[in-house]
Amino acid sequence: MPDKADLHILLANPRGFCAGVDRAIEIVEKALQKYGAPVYVRHEIVHNKFVVDRLRDMGAVFVDELDAVPDGVPVIFSAHGVPKSVPQNAEQRALHYLDATCPLVSKVHREAERHHGEGKHILLIGHAGHPEVVGTMGQLPEGSMTLIETEDDARSIEVSDPENIAFVTQTTLSLDDTAKMIAILQERFPAISVPKKEDICYATTNRQHAVKMIAERADAILVLGAPNSSNSNRLVEVAKREGCAISVLVERARDIDWDKLADIKTLGITAGASAPEVLVEEVIDACKERFNVSVETITLTDENVTFKLPRELAS
């Protein structure tokens, strides 16, 4: 049997779960402990099949809409946030609900409401159809907000009152792409109101900067995350933009195309904010089966953010 080739792994830090994801998962776990199964969850609590499957095994039932939730059982809203119509419908049915919306997403909701209350039209930078965007647009009456997805959108958008507009953003976007769109909007509309604090969340920001650090040295990068995870897909884009052409998104070790890594000497590994560390360890173990592996952790910063649970689950 031929000797294994050497493989040096660059492990990005921070990676994986953020405080909002930790909180959302804990809300489901504690609700199951307190109320017993089943506990219903509207949409995936976070965008990760491994996490969703584990919670399903514990007794969580995932549904697309409240119509599928029977009377008399608790229901949890996902970390991405929901339109105002969802809790209103739950209240009309006297459903007991818990809101697992990430507090940093809720901050964007409150910003949008404040701007709307001041009579401003709002431009939302984000991806059409993403649950967070659907939830943010659903905070205000229809027509109060316009979605900006691309630089072309930013250049072509027409507003009726350029002196009375504001922008907010999805929390999981590419920092670089968003900065370009914001610059275009500010050049076109000098009076546009800006968020008091960056809307793109600390975890998205940190993970993108960390992947830039490893992309400088890596021959290839694996990003652990789900295909529908916005922040994970952005990590792949950032890595490619930094010059690491072989940058791919994988859900599990079993998804790795080992032929692509056959001649790789240095492999970067990171994980999106909804990917658990156990999947990173699984990938490293799979590498060790095929290579003589050495691991180097590249640390941008150590995160210590935590968010409180809803009062009824905090005890």
Q: What was the pLDDT predicted at 315?
A: 67
Using the predicted structure, report yes or no on whether residue 28 has a pLDDT greater than 80: yes
Say what the pTM is: 0.95
Dihedral (Cα; 258, 261, 266, 267), 10-degree rounding: -50
State residue 121 phi and psi, 5-degree precision: -85, 140
Average pLDDT score, the chain: 96
Report yes or no: 102 and 201 within 8 Å, Cβ to Cβ.
Answer: yes
The DSSP symbol for 157 reads -
Task: Write the pLDDT tens digit of every residue in 59-116.
Answer: 999 999 999 999 999 999 999 999 999 999 999 999 999 999 999 999 999 999 999 9
Pick from 272, 278, 135, 251: which is nearest to 203 by CA? 272
Q: What was the pLDDT predicted at 197?
A: 86
Peptide bond into 276 cis (omega under 30): no
Beta bridge partners of 246: 220
Dihedral (Cα; 108, 110, 114, 117), 10-degree rounding: 120
Q: Which amino acid, one-letter code, is at 49?
A: K
Task: Write the pLDDT tens digit of every residue in 256-290.
Answer: 999 999 899 999 999 999 999 999 999 999 999 99
Q: What was the pLDDT predicted at 235?
A: 98
Q: What was the pLDDT predicted at 66?
A: 96
> Alpha-carbon distance 315 to 313, whole Å?
6
What average pLDDT score do residues 37-43 get?
A: 97
Using the predicted structure, report yes or no on whether residue 190 has a pLDDT greater than 80: yes
Q: With bands split at pLDDT 50, 70 and 90, how would you rate the model's confidence at 198?
A: confident
Output the CA angle 182-187-191, nearest 5 degrees. 90
Binding site residue list for isopentenyl diphosphate: 47, 80, 130, 229-231, 274
Active site residues: 132
Report yes or no: 306 and 258 within 8 Å, Cβ to Cβ.
Answer: no
Using the predicted structure, report yes or no on whether residue 1 has a pLDDT greater than 60: no
Binding site residue list for [4Fe-4S] cluster: 18, 102, 201
Alpha helices in the chain (DSSP H): 19-35, 49-58, 85-92, 103-117, 131-137, 151-156, 175-188, 202-215, 230-241, 277-290, 311-314
Report yes or no: 140 and 113 within 8 Å, Cβ to Cβ.
Answer: yes
Task: Write the pLDDT tens digit of every residue in 206-264.
Answer: 999 999 999 999 999 999 999 999 999 999 999 999 999 999 999 999 999 999 998 99
Binding site residue list: 18, 47, 80, 102, 130, 171, 201, 229-231, 274
What average pLDDT score do residues 125-149 get?
A: 97
